[in-house]
Structure 1
Amino acid sequence: MFTLYKTHRPFVGPFDPCPPIRVKSFSTPPNLYIGFQPNNFPQFTPMEALRAGTLWKPLYDPYYNSRELAKGGNPL
């Protein structure tokens, strides 16, 4: 199983002048996990595809900003 959001814990030095960020996150696009387009790939309707920005449902990747994620928003 893959996730579209990954996290890592960067090194925090004892003499860093800024407050440390303990956990950083980043998103990975879904096309990294699809090797080729299989037959009968699920598709959005034309109107849904315009809203989503892609025709194929497995390639849909909604954007969540850091404030939404900090409020407890579920990225998936």
Structure 2
Amino acid sequence: MNQSNTRYYYPYISPLDPCPPIVRKSYSTPPHLFMGFQPPNLEQFSTAREALFSGTLWPALFDPYPPKKGREEA
């Protein structure tokens, strides 16, 4: 997958808000949202340890969910 899993939105900024506005906010989406279905014979992690640490059996469905700082720069 070459597309980014980070999405952005622009919240309403009230003229009466006393706090400085956050103009653009971001959130991370899981990779499975962009797969219409799970293809047959999808590659699996080679060891159970890798799968357990990744939280999924398939590398194509793994997303490290970068911290907010990393997402804002994109």
TM-score using structure 2 length: 0.78
Code of the residue aligned with 1:21 in structure 2: it is I
> Residues 31, 70 of structure 1: CA spacing in aligned structure 2 closer, same or farther, 3 A cutoff?
closer
Structure with the bigger RCO (C-alpha within 8 Å, sep 6+) is: 2
Structure 2 unaligned residues grouped into runs of 5+: none
Equivalent-residue separation in structure 1 for 2:28 and 2:40 (angstroms): 27
Find the counterpart in structure 2 of residue 55 from structure 1. 57
Query: Matches of 1:15 and 1:38 in 2, distance apart?
Result: 51
**Contact conserved, 2:31 with 2:61, CA < 8 A, in 1?**
yes
Aligned length: 72
**d(CA) in 1 for partners of 2:45, 2:33:** 20
CA RMSD of superposed structures (Å): 2.2
Match of 1:28 in 2: 29
Q: So what's the TM-score if we normalise by structure 1?
A: 0.76
Q: Distance in 2 between matches of 1:20 and 1:70?
A: 18
Task: Describe the superposition over 1:11-56 as per-residue Cα deviations: whole angstroms up to 9, x where unpaired.
Answer: 2122112110011001111111112211220111222111111001
Between the aligned residues of both structures, percent identity stands at 46
